[in-house]
A and B are shown apart, each in its own frame.
Chain A
C-alpha cells in the first residue's frame, strides 16, 4: 500500500463539505425566510420548455430525449406534444388555481417556438433560463469559454423573449460544472433551480457574487416520478399532497419552507394526467398559508427576510 494512493487518501475529509459551492447549514440551523402574509410555505411551480436534438443520443443524452435508434420520431414527437398542446392545458390549470408559474425555457425553444414564449409573456409569467438546449449539459468536460458561450447565448435569448433581463436559471438536466455558478453571476442571474438538497432557499458561493438556490424537489419532479420511476399520475398527486401537508406543518412550527414542483408540459399536460395535476395543486392550495410566488418574488422575499 502506497501512502499516497489516492484511494486511501481523503484530502477533503473535513468540517462541512468536500466542495465550496455552498455552506453546511442544515435546515434547523439557519434562519428561515418570512414569506408574505406569514405564509408557512412558498409554492414554486416551474414549467420547463426544452428542445431536444433529434440526433442527441450518447453518454450525455438528457432524460426524456430521443433514446431509440435514429431517427426516433416516437420520442421526439412525444416531447413536441408538450409545446403544441400540453403547455396550454397546464397553464390554464395553473391560472385557474391562482398558481403562479415560472417558465424555464432554453435558447433553442425561444428560437423554434416563439408562440410558446409569447403565451407565457402574455400571461405575465416570469421567464427563467434553461440553458442552450436540453442536450447542452454543464459539466467538467467543457472549457470555460465553451460554457460561457452557452450561458451567454441562453441568457440573451430568454431575456429577449421576456423583454427584460432574465434572473433565474435551470441547467439542462440540472447539471453544473465547477464554474457554472460564477458564470451565472457574471451574466446577471440571481437564482438557480438546479439543486435538490433542501426545503428552503439558501445562498450559494459564486465567485464572490450573490446567488440564491431555490431547491426543486427531485422526488416530485414529474419527469423523475412519472417518467423515470413509472408512478401513475394519481400516485404523483398523492405524493404532492402528502409533501404539502408536512411542509405546511413544518413551516407553521419552524419557519418558512419552500415547496418547489416541476410541471412538464409533455408529461403532465397529457389529457389523462391533467386532472391529477389539478387535483394535486388543489390539495396544495387548500392550505391557507401557502403562498404561490414566481422565482424572483420568492428570492426577493428570501433576501429581504434573511
Chain B
C-alpha cells in the first residue's frame, strides 16, 4: 500500500492560470445521474457485503429498484424541463436488464460513462486481468449501445485498485470521477497517455446527503443553491465546474424531487452557466487548459 496517492501535484486554486470556459461562462454545470443496478444475490468476494442486513435483503433491493421503476422517469422530466443533458454513470448491465432506461437516455443526448458492471461487484483487490476484463466489458457495452467509446469513468461503488487510473488512461478514457480534491478539472499522473479528473461530488451527491448526513429532502435543494451561488461568484475570476450527482432511487422520490427542481430553476435563471456533459468538459479542458496548467503547476 502507498502512504500517499502521488497521483497529482499540489496546486492552490488561487495560483493557477485563469481558465476560460466556452462563451466566457463562469461555471460549467455537470449533472450526473447514476443509472445503477444492484443484484439481489451477488457473489461475495471482498470484505464489503452489498447487503449488510439479512439475505436476501428484499427491502434494500426494492428501494434501489424504485429508481428504475419510478424515479428515473421523474428525473428525466425535471432535467428536460431545464434543458439539461445528464452524464449517466452507468452500471453497464442496466443496458441488458432495463434497455428502456438506456434508450430514453440516449434519445435525450445524454452522455454514457462507465460505472462498472453492477453496483454490487467491486474492483478492490482485483487481479489485473480481471480488472481489465471489467473495463473492456464496460467499453464494449457502451459502444454497443451508443456507437461511441466512453470518455469517463467512475469506479463501481467507488472501489478502486492502485492501478485503475493507469488502466483508464491506457484504455483512452479522458476523465475520472473518482477524485474529490478540487473545483476545477486537473491533470492526473498516469503511466501512459493523459487523464484528467473532473470534480465529481460527494457533498452534492444525494446518496451522501441523504444516507450519510441524513438530511431532509428539501435541505438538499438549499445545499445545491448555496453551492452554486459561491461557485458562480468565484467563476467570475476563473472558471469553476459544479457537479450535482443524482441517484434516481433517492432524488426521484416524491418527497425529494422538488428540491432538485427548485435548485435547477435557480441555477438556470443565471447567465453564464454552461450546461455541459462530462465529456464536453473534458474535451474543453484537454484542448484549452491542460498544457498550460500542466506547465504552470509542474505536472509531468
Interface residues of A (CB under 8 A from B): 1, 5-10, 12-19, 21, 24-29, 60, 137, 139-141, 173-178, 194-199, 215, 217-220, 229-231, 235, 238-240, 242-244, 246-247, 250, 259
Contact of A12 among B39, B57, B68, B127 (CB under 8 A): B39
**Docked pose: A238 CA to B216 CA in angstroms:** 10
Residue in B57, B69, B93, B130 whose beta carbon sits within 8 Å of that of A8 in the complex: B130
Beta-carbon contact of A176 and B58 below 8 Å = yes
- B258 to chain A: which residues have CB within 8 Å? 242, 246
The reply to whether B43 and A7 contact each other, CB–CB distance below 8 Å, is yes
Contacts of B59 in A (CB 8 A): 173-175, 194-196, 218
Q: Digitize B40-51: 1 where CB-to-A-CB distance is under 8 Å, 0 elsewhere.
A: 110101000000
Q: Among A5, A173, A198, which residue has its beta carbon within 8 angstroms of that of B69?
A: A198
CB distance from B264 to the nearest CB of A (A): 16
Task: Provide the residues of chain A in CB contact with B68, threshold 8 Å.
Answer: 26
Given known A-B contacts A8-B134, A229-B214, A235-B216, A246 and B66 have beta carbons under 8 A apart? no
**Judging by beta carbons under 8 Å apart, are A13 and B54 in contact?**
no
Which residues from chain B contact A244 at a C-beta distance below 8 Å? Answer: 254
With A and B bound together, what is the CA distance between A240 and B98 in angstroms? 30
Given contacts A14-B96, A197-B69, A198-B69, contact A1 B254 (CB under 8 A): no
* Interchain CB contact under 8 A, A197 and B63: yes
Q: Which residue of B is nearest A25, CB measured?
A: B69
Minimum distance in angstroms from B67 CB to a CB of chain A = 9
**Which residues of B lie under 8 Å from residue A242 when comparing CB positions?**
217-218, 254-256, 258
Q: Is the CB of A141 within 8 A of B55?
A: yes
Docked pose: A16 CA to B45 CA in angstroms:
25
Q: Does B273 contact A (CB under 8 A)?
A: no
Residue of B nearest to A242 (CB): B255
Q: A7-B121, A9-B43, A173-B54 are in contact. List 17 more A-B contacts (CB 8 A).
A: A8-B130, A8-B134, A18-B37, A18-B39, A18-B41, A18-B97, A24-B98, A26-B69, A60-B54, A175-B54, A195-B59, A198-B66, A198-B69, A239-B216, A239-B256, A242-B217, A246-B254
Cβ of A139: which chain B residues have Cβ within 8 Å of it?
54-56
B224 within 8 A of A: no
What residues of A have a CB within 8 angstroms of the CB of B255 in the complex?
Answer: 217, 219-220, 239-240, 242-243
Closest 5 CB pairs of A and B: A239-B255, A243-B254, A197-B62, A197-B65, A243-B255
Docked-complex contact A140 and B129, CB < 8 angstroms:
no
Residues from chain B with a CB closer than 8 A to the CB of A239 are 216-218, 255-256
* Contact status A1-B214, CB under 8 Å: no
> Is the CB–CB distance between A7 and B130 below 8 Å?
yes
| 16 A/B residue pairs, CB under 8 Å, sorted by A | A1-B133, A13-B93, A13-B96, A24-B97, A26-B73, A60-B54, A173-B53, A175-B57, A196-B59, A197-B65, A199-B70, A217-B253, A219-B255, A231-B214, A244-B254, A250-B254
Q: A residues within 8 A CB of B37?
A: 18
Are B63 and A218 touching (Cβ within 8 A)? yes
| Tally of chain B residues near chain A (CB < 8 A) | 47
Q: How far is the CA of A240 from the CA of B253 in the complex (A)?
A: 11
B residues 89-136 touching A (CB-CB < 8 Å) = 93, 96-101, 117-118, 121, 127, 129-130, 133-134
Q: Is there a chain A Cβ closer than 8 Å to B257's Cβ?
A: yes
Where the two chains meet, the residues of B that have a C-beta atom closer than 8 Å to any C-beta of A are 37, 39-41, 43, 45, 53-59, 62-63, 65-66, 68-70, 73, 93, 96-101, 117-118, 121, 127, 129-130, 133-134, 210, 214, 216-218, 253-258
> Which A residues are CB-close (under 8 A) to B101?
26
Contact of B56 among A25, A177, A217 (CB under 8 A): A177
Known: A195-B62, A239-B217, A242-B255. A6 touches B43 (CB 8 A): yes
Using known A-B contacts A139-B55, A140-B56, A178-B56, determine if residue A8 contacts B133 with beta carbons closer than 8 Å.
yes
Q: Shortest Cβ distance from A258 into chain B, in angstroms? A: 11
CB-CB under 8 A from B210, the residues of chain A are 229
B43 touches A1 (CB 8 A): no
Contacts of B133 in A (CB 8 A): 1, 8
A73–B198 Cα distance when bound, in Å, is 52
Chain A residues, Cβ within 8 Å of B134: 8
A19 lies within 8 A of B98 (CB): no
CB-nearest residue of chain A relative to B217? A239
Are B45 and A7 in contact (CB-based, < 8 A)?
yes
| B130 contacts across to A, CB distance below 8 A | 1, 5, 7-8
Residues of B within 8 A of A29 (CB): 100
- Kindly provide the distance from the CB of A166 to the nearest chain B CB, expressed in whole angstroms: 21
Complex CA–CA separation, A235 to B216 (angstroms): 7
Which residues of chain B have C-beta atoms less than 8 A from A218's C-beta?
59, 62-63, 66
Q: Once the chains are docked, how many angstroms separate the CA of A247 from the CA of B217?
A: 16
Which A residue sits closest to B93, measured CB to CB?
Answer: A13
Closest chain B residue to A219, Cβ basis: B253
Expressed in whole angstroms, the Cα–Cα distance for A202 and B39 within the complex equals 21
Which residues in B have their C-beta under 8 angstroms from that of A14?
96-97
Within the complex, what minimum Cβ distance (angstroms) separates B131 from chain A? 10
